[in-house]
Amino acid sequence: MKKIVFMLLSLYIITFSVYAVDISAHSAILYEPETKTVLFEKNSEMPMSMASTTKIITAITAIENGKLDDVVTVSKYAADVEGSSVWLEEGEKQTLQDLLYGLMLSSGNDAAIAIAEHISGSCEEFAKLMNYTAQKAGVTNSSFKNPSGLDEEGHYTTALDMAKITAYAYKNETFKKIVSTKEYQIPWEGHEWNRTLKNHNKLLKIYDGCIGIKTGFTKKSGRCLVSSASRDGLQLIAVTLKAPDDWNDHIKMLDFGFSSLHPKTILKKADSVKFISVKNGVKEKVKCSIKEDVVIPFNDNIKYDLKYTLQNETEAPVGENQVVGYVDVYVNNRIVKTLNLYTTESCEKLYVPNLFDYFIKLYDYIM
């Protein structure tokens, strides 16, 4: 009887974790990037079209492969592309940085094409770079054919892959700044005023802690949305694909996530002190430690462990801030972070007089 009760209770817990949020999306995920924990999912590994949320990978690919102050000349093809735009004109010149704002705030397809042509010469070649970026982000079930997100055969992703791409992009400070911007102005040649770009992501205004990132829509894809929010050092990423009620879906998912997790300090740098032996030093050992506290998002379903790897000894002289080992942080049996162990004190080399030199000095003293 006890076994049956336990099995039913376990089933309830698993069901609650997966279906805890009632949402409209065909596919969705709530992802915690620090520990790569999936807090909620619905068909998250189903390949689907993703409309302009594609521009997330377009942006990070351009940032990694271009220079923000590059001057980009807009081609006729870019100026004439269908769909959402920032009204670029053929021959117009804009910096790559300004085009990135047009890409991510106003979802400009013209900006996407201009960026791709500038970086790689064509959209086809740029798509190869996009897929390479996806590989670096750990994505395994996506294929990118264009930088804008317009529907195209073979252009697809999954909610899980989009969450991984977003987590990867957020490691870049330029990307973070752009997607959190609510309004931005770029030059408008031939006009007395600038273009004013307003971010389509209304969660930036209505959801506490929202820090981005991108909307999307086509008739085939439906409403698509990737959002991210941060509270008390805890960041969450939400993705919905084909979601008629996407704004409310994201609010529900993010609320669920923030109520389910809390930051937990599992190792303070002051408590990480280790000792390493010193060969030929004036001290036998020196101290070493990590340089920051280890904080992870935590709940009762998360297990963690710390594993130290430390050199047996090091050769004198030893300076401060010398790397002598590392700490692997495991969450649910998976490495999520590695921190170096640094020496926190120095150690001079032990001087051992040469016997011949000693006799020479003694001889000189006597004579």
Catalytic residue positions, numbered: 52, 55, 107
Beta-bridge partner residues of 156: 143
Q: Which two tokens stand for residue 38?
A: 């999936």
Residue 215 exposure: Cα atoms within 13 Å on the Cβ side: 19
3-state class of 259 per DSSP? helix
Instruction: Using the CB atoms, write b or e for 181-209: b if 16+ within 10 Å.
Output: beebebebeeeeeebebebbbebbeebee
Q: What are phi and psi of 142, to 5 degrees?
A: -135, 155
How is residue 72 annotated by DSSP? E
How far apart are alpha carbons 155 and 143 in whole angstroms? 5
Residue reference for tokens 């897929």: 131
Give 3-state DSSP helix, strand, coil % of the chain, rounded to 5. Answer: 35, 30, 35
What's the distance, Cα to Cα, between the start and end of the chain in Å? 100
Which residues touch 179 (CB under 8 Å, ≥6 apart)? 59, 104, 201, 211, 212, 213, 214
How far apart are alpha carbons 280 and 325 in whole angstroms? 20
How far apart are alpha carbons 31 and 165 in whole angstroms? 11
Sign of CA dihedral 17, 22, 26, 29: negative
